[in-house]
Amino acid sequence: MSTVEKPWSGRFTEPTDVFVEAFTASVGFDQRLYAYDIQGSIAHAQMLAHVGVLTHEESAQIVQGLREIEQDIREGRWQWSIALEDVHMNIEHRLTEKIGLVGKKLHTGRSRNDQVATDIRLYLRDAIDEIGRELRRFLEQLAQLAETEAETILPGFTHLQSAQPVTFGHHLLAWCEMLLRDQARLRECRRRVNVMPLGAAALAGTSYPIDRAYTATLLGFESVAENSLDAVSDRDFAIEFAAVSATLMMHLSRFSEELILWSSAQFQFIELSDAFCTGSSIMPQKKNPDVPELVRGKTGRVYGHLFSLLTLMKAQPLAYNKDNQEDKEPIFDVIDTVRGCLKVYADMIPAIRVNREKMRAAALAGFTTATDLADYLVRKGLAFRDAHEVVGQVVRYCVVNAYHLEALPLEVFKQFSAEIEADIYAVLTLEGSVAARNHFGGTAPQQVREAIIRLRERW
Inform me whether the pLDDT recorded for 10 exceeds 80.
Answer: no
Provide the pLDDT for residue 164.
95
Contacts with 409 (C-beta within 8 Å, 6 or more apart), sequence order: none
Among residues 291, 288, 283, the alpha carbon closest in space to that of 348 is found at 291
pLDDT of residue 173: 98
> Could you tell me what percentage of the chain is helix, strand and coil, using 3-state DSSP and rounding each to the nearest 5?
65, 5, 30
pLDDT tens, 120-131? 999 999 999 999
Q: What class does CATH assign to 113-150+159-358?
A: mainly alpha
The whole-model pTM stands at: 0.92
Q: What are the two backbone dihedrals, phi and then psi, of residue 158, each rounded to the nearest 5 degrees?
A: -130, 140
Work out the mean pLDDT of the chain and round it to a whole number.
Answer: 95
**Which pLDDT score is estimated for 417?**
95
For residue 275, whether the previous peptide bond is cis, meaning omega lies within 30 degrees of 0, is no
Query: Are the CB atoms for 230 and 175 separated by under 8 Å?
Result: no
Residue 11 has pLDDT above 80, yes or no: no
DSSP 149: T
Could you give the CA distance from residue 236 to residue 382 in angstroms, rounded to a whole number?
Answer: 57
pLDDT band (50, 70, 90) for residue 4: low
How far, in Å, CA of 45 to CA of 26, rounded? Answer: 24
**Could you tell me what percent of the chain has a pLDDT over 90?**
92
Report pLDDT digits (tens) over 333-351.
Answer: 999 999 999 999 999 999 9
6: pLDDT strictly greater than 70? no
Say which of 223, 280, 404, 439 is annotated catalytic. 280
Sorted by where each begins, the domain ranges of the chain are 9-108, 113-150+159-358, 361-449
Select which of 159, 251, 273, 404 is catalytic: 159
- Quote the CA–CA distance of 82 and 248 in Å, as a whole number: 36
- Helical H runs in 220-277? 228-233, 236-262
pLDDT at 12: 64
Whether residue 74 is predicted with pLDDT greater than 80 in this model: the reply is yes
If pLDDT is split at 50, 70 and 90, which confidence band does 205 have? very high
Same fold, 9-108 and 361-449: no
The highest-level CATH class for domain 361-449 is mainly alpha
Mean pLDDT for the stretch of residues 177-202: 98
Contact 144, 169 (CB under 8 A): no
Closest CA to 440 of 170, 143, 156: 170
Region class of 199: left (phi > 0), else alpha (psi between -120 and 50), else beta? left
How high is the pLDDT of residue 1? 45
Clarify whether 280 is annotated catalytic: yes
Domain 9-108: top CATH class: mainly alpha
Q: Assess whether pLDDT exceeds 90 at residue 289.
A: yes
Per DSSP, 86 falls in state S
pLDDT band at 401 (very low <50, low <70, confident <90, very high): very high
